[in-house]
Amino acid sequence: MGKDANRIKTIIEYCEKIEYAVEEFGNDIEDFLDDHVYHDVCCFYLFQIGENAGALSPEIRKRYDDVNWDNMMETRNVVAHGYGGMDFEAAWTSITKRIPKVKKTCEKILRELNK
């Protein structure tokens, strides 16, 4: 498995960790907003997803340009550097709406890369 395939696999694993956190902590935005451990854990996972997205080769990011790699990398930067503070409601939207789609798309990409 090449470097890009490993990074895609890692993105999938962090998506799964986010799914697990939602199962453990609760699928309610109020639970998320009220629990600093919950949002810290999920934001760390979003950071890792962005870190791995940024490490993908330009060829892969271009080949799969329907994936919003830039958004993943921007989220990583906000988490890492705190540009104006984290918008936890926006993070919740990413966690509950975008991450399932990212996981599904990355699973498809991984299958293609492993052919």
10 exposed, middle or buried (CB, 10 Å; 0-12, 13-18, 19+)? middle
Number of domains, the chain: 1
> What is d(CA 28, CA 55) in angstroms, rounded to the nearest whole number?
32
Mean pLDDT in order along the chain per 10 residues (115 residues): 92 98 94 92 93 94 92 84 75 92 96 91
Domain housing 84: 3-113
- pLDDT for residue 84: 57
> What is d(CA 72, CA 46) in angstroms, rounded to the nearest whole number?
8
Question: Quick check: pTM over 0.85?
Answer: yes
- pLDDT for residue 53: 93
- pLDDT for residue 74: 87
